[in-house]
Amino acid sequence: MDNIGSPSTTRVPMAAYDRLSILIHWAIFVLVVTVCTLGFLFYKLDYRTSQAYASYYYWHRSLGEIIFVLTIFSVFRRTTRTPPPEFPDVPWRATVARVTKSLLLVLLILVPAFKLWRGAYGTMGWTFFAWHIPGIWPPNEPLGRFLTAAHYYSALALIFLSALHSLAAIWHQFVKRDSLLKRMSPL
Protein backbone atom coordinates (compact mmCIF):
# COMPACT_ATOMS: atom_id res chain seq x y z
CA MET A 1 0.00 0.00 0.00
CA ASP A 2 1.37 3.46 -0.78
CA ASN A 3 -0.30 5.41 2.05
CA ILE A 4 -2.07 7.85 -0.23
CA GLY A 5 -3.01 10.36 2.47
CA SER A 6 -0.03 10.13 4.78
CA PRO A 7 2.89 12.54 4.73
CA SER A 8 6.04 11.23 3.10
CA THR A 9 8.40 9.58 5.53
CA THR A 10 11.45 10.13 3.34
CA ARG A 11 12.75 13.65 2.80
CA VAL A 12 15.10 13.33 -0.13
CA PRO A 13 16.62 16.59 -1.41
CA MET A 14 15.23 17.00 -4.91
CA ALA A 15 17.00 18.63 -7.83
CA ALA A 16 15.16 21.73 -8.98
CA TYR A 17 14.51 22.85 -12.52
CA ASP A 18 16.76 25.63 -13.80
CA ARG A 19 15.62 29.26 -13.45
CA LEU A 20 14.63 29.67 -17.10
CA SER A 21 12.47 26.52 -17.04
CA ILE A 22 10.77 27.77 -13.88
CA LEU A 23 10.18 31.20 -15.43
CA ILE A 24 8.70 29.66 -18.59
CA HIS A 25 6.49 27.31 -16.55
CA TRP A 26 4.96 30.09 -14.45
CA ALA A 27 4.69 32.50 -17.40
CA ILE A 28 2.74 29.86 -19.32
CA PHE A 29 0.57 29.25 -16.25
CA VAL A 30 -0.32 32.96 -15.91
CA LEU A 31 -0.89 33.29 -19.67
CA VAL A 32 -3.12 30.18 -19.83
CA VAL A 33 -5.27 31.44 -16.95
CA THR A 34 -5.53 34.86 -18.63
CA VAL A 35 -6.26 33.50 -22.11
CA CYS A 36 -8.88 31.05 -20.83
CA THR A 37 -10.57 33.77 -18.80
CA LEU A 38 -10.66 36.06 -21.83
CA GLY A 39 -11.92 33.21 -24.00
CA PHE A 40 -14.82 32.48 -21.66
CA LEU A 41 -15.61 36.21 -21.39
CA PHE A 42 -15.85 36.82 -25.12
CA TYR A 43 -17.42 33.45 -25.92
CA LYS A 44 -20.85 34.72 -24.82
CA LEU A 45 -20.55 38.16 -26.44
CA ASP A 46 -21.91 39.14 -29.85
CA TYR A 47 -18.86 39.82 -32.00
CA ARG A 48 -20.89 42.11 -34.30
CA THR A 49 -21.98 44.57 -31.61
CA SER A 50 -19.71 44.21 -28.59
CA GLN A 51 -16.64 46.41 -28.30
CA ALA A 52 -15.46 44.28 -25.39
CA TYR A 53 -15.46 41.26 -27.71
CA ALA A 54 -12.88 42.83 -30.03
CA SER A 55 -10.62 43.77 -27.12
CA TYR A 56 -10.88 40.39 -25.39
CA TYR A 57 -10.37 38.56 -28.67
CA TYR A 58 -7.31 40.69 -29.55
CA TRP A 59 -5.64 39.88 -26.22
CA HIS A 60 -6.78 36.25 -26.30
CA ARG A 61 -5.18 35.65 -29.69
CA SER A 62 -1.97 37.58 -29.06
CA LEU A 63 -1.32 36.04 -25.65
CA GLY A 64 -2.25 32.61 -27.03
CA GLU A 65 0.46 32.98 -29.65
CA ILE A 66 2.97 33.81 -26.91
CA ILE A 67 1.94 30.56 -25.17
CA PHE A 68 2.54 28.73 -28.46
CA VAL A 69 6.05 30.20 -28.88
CA LEU A 70 7.01 29.68 -25.22
CA THR A 71 5.85 26.07 -25.36
CA ILE A 72 7.77 25.35 -28.58
CA PHE A 73 10.83 26.93 -26.97
CA SER A 74 10.31 24.87 -23.80
CA VAL A 75 9.97 21.63 -25.77
CA PHE A 76 13.12 22.49 -27.73
CA ARG A 77 14.99 23.14 -24.46
CA ARG A 78 13.81 19.77 -23.13
CA THR A 79 15.46 18.07 -26.11
CA THR A 80 18.77 19.85 -25.53
CA ARG A 81 18.98 19.72 -21.72
CA THR A 82 18.73 16.98 -19.15
CA PRO A 83 15.82 17.68 -16.79
CA PRO A 84 16.19 16.94 -13.09
CA PRO A 85 15.60 13.30 -12.16
CA GLU A 86 11.99 12.19 -11.90
CA PHE A 87 10.42 12.64 -8.51
CA PRO A 88 10.34 9.30 -6.65
CA ASP A 89 6.76 8.14 -6.33
CA VAL A 90 4.69 5.00 -6.63
CA PRO A 91 4.70 3.74 -10.23
CA TRP A 92 1.07 4.52 -11.06
CA ARG A 93 1.33 8.16 -9.88
CA ALA A 94 4.65 8.61 -11.66
CA THR A 95 3.05 7.30 -14.86
CA VAL A 96 0.00 9.56 -14.48
CA ALA A 97 2.28 12.56 -13.87
CA ARG A 98 4.44 11.77 -16.90
CA VAL A 99 1.43 11.25 -19.20
CA THR A 100 -0.31 14.38 -17.89
CA LYS A 101 2.78 16.54 -18.43
CA SER A 102 3.20 15.16 -21.96
CA LEU A 103 -0.46 15.78 -22.80
CA LEU A 104 -0.22 19.30 -21.38
CA LEU A 105 2.69 20.06 -23.70
CA VAL A 106 0.83 18.61 -26.69
CA LEU A 107 -2.28 20.65 -25.88
CA LEU A 108 -0.29 23.83 -25.23
CA ILE A 109 0.90 23.50 -28.83
CA LEU A 110 -2.33 22.22 -30.41
CA VAL A 111 -4.78 24.72 -28.89
CA PRO A 112 -3.14 27.79 -30.47
CA ALA A 113 -2.08 25.80 -33.56
CA PHE A 114 -5.73 25.09 -34.42
CA LYS A 115 -6.50 28.82 -34.43
CA LEU A 116 -3.30 29.66 -36.30
CA TRP A 117 -4.28 27.10 -38.93
CA ARG A 118 -7.80 28.57 -38.99
CA GLY A 119 -6.27 32.00 -39.62
CA ALA A 120 -4.64 30.78 -42.83
CA TYR A 121 -8.06 30.62 -44.52
CA GLY A 122 -10.04 33.65 -45.67
CA THR A 123 -10.03 37.08 -44.11
CA MET A 124 -9.20 36.12 -40.53
CA GLY A 125 -5.44 35.93 -41.00
CA TRP A 126 -2.95 36.03 -38.15
CA THR A 127 -2.82 38.83 -35.63
CA PHE A 128 -0.07 39.29 -33.09
CA PHE A 129 -0.64 42.51 -31.18
CA ALA A 130 -0.25 45.29 -33.79
CA TRP A 131 0.87 43.01 -36.62
CA HIS A 132 -1.59 41.39 -38.97
CA ILE A 133 -0.86 38.91 -41.75
CA PRO A 134 -3.79 38.13 -44.04
CA GLY A 135 -4.90 34.56 -44.68
CA ILE A 136 -3.05 32.78 -47.46
CA TRP A 137 -5.84 30.48 -48.67
CA PRO A 138 -9.42 31.12 -49.72
CA PRO A 139 -12.18 30.78 -47.11
CA ASN A 140 -13.14 27.22 -46.19
CA GLU A 141 -16.13 27.33 -43.86
CA PRO A 142 -16.38 23.59 -43.05
CA LEU A 143 -12.68 23.46 -42.19
CA GLY A 144 -13.02 26.73 -40.27
CA ARG A 145 -15.86 25.31 -38.16
CA PHE A 146 -13.87 22.14 -37.52
CA LEU A 147 -10.73 24.05 -36.47
CA THR A 148 -12.74 26.39 -34.24
CA ALA A 149 -14.40 23.39 -32.54
CA ALA A 150 -11.03 21.62 -32.24
CA HIS A 151 -9.58 24.76 -30.63
CA TYR A 152 -12.48 25.00 -28.18
CA TYR A 153 -12.60 21.33 -27.13
CA SER A 154 -8.83 20.95 -26.91
CA ALA A 155 -8.82 24.11 -24.74
CA LEU A 156 -11.35 22.44 -22.42
CA ALA A 157 -9.07 19.38 -22.24
CA LEU A 158 -6.14 21.71 -21.48
CA ILE A 159 -8.11 23.34 -18.65
CA PHE A 160 -9.03 19.93 -17.22
CA LEU A 161 -5.44 18.63 -17.33
CA SER A 162 -4.09 21.92 -15.95
CA ALA A 163 -6.50 21.64 -13.03
CA LEU A 164 -5.44 18.01 -12.48
CA HIS A 165 -1.76 19.04 -12.60
CA SER A 166 -2.38 21.88 -10.13
CA LEU A 167 -4.41 19.71 -7.76
CA ALA A 168 -1.66 17.08 -7.79
CA ALA A 169 0.92 19.73 -6.91
CA ILE A 170 -1.29 21.02 -4.08
CA TRP A 171 -1.81 17.45 -2.85
CA HIS A 172 1.94 16.85 -2.83
CA GLN A 173 2.52 20.09 -0.92
CA PHE A 174 -0.21 19.94 1.70
CA VAL A 175 -1.20 16.27 2.04
CA LYS A 176 1.87 14.27 1.18
CA ARG A 177 4.28 17.03 2.29
CA ASP A 178 7.09 15.74 0.13
CA SER A 179 8.48 19.08 -1.11
CA LEU A 180 7.72 18.34 -4.76
CA LEU A 181 6.77 21.99 -5.35
CA LYS A 182 10.28 23.14 -4.51
CA ARG A 183 11.41 21.74 -7.87
CA MET A 184 9.36 24.36 -9.72
CA SER A 185 9.19 27.12 -7.11
CA PRO A 186 9.86 30.63 -8.41
CA LEU A 187 11.03 31.68 -4.93
pLDDT along the chain (187 residues), means of 10: 46 76 96 96 85 90 97 95 82 92 97 94 86 92 94 97 95 88 86
Task: Quote the pLDDT of residue 28.
Answer: 98
Task: Quote the pLDDT of residue 88.
Answer: 80
The DSSP line for the chain is: ---TTSPPS--PPPPPPPHHHHHHHHHHHHHHHHHHHHHHHHHTS-TTT-HHHHHHHHHHHHHHHHHHHHHHHHHHHHHHSPPPPPPP--HHHHHHHHHHHHHHHHHHHHHHHHHHHHHTBTT--EEETTEEE--SB---HHHHHHHHHHHHHHHHHHHHHHHHHHHHHHHIIIII---GGGGG---
Helix axes 51-80, 19-43, angle to 10 degrees: 150
pTM: 0.86
Task: Quote the pLDDT of residue 8.
Answer: 45
Task: Quote the pLDDT of residue 48.
Answer: 82
Task: Quote the pLDDT of residue 7.
Answer: 43
The DSSP line for 2-16 is: --TTSPPS--PPPPP
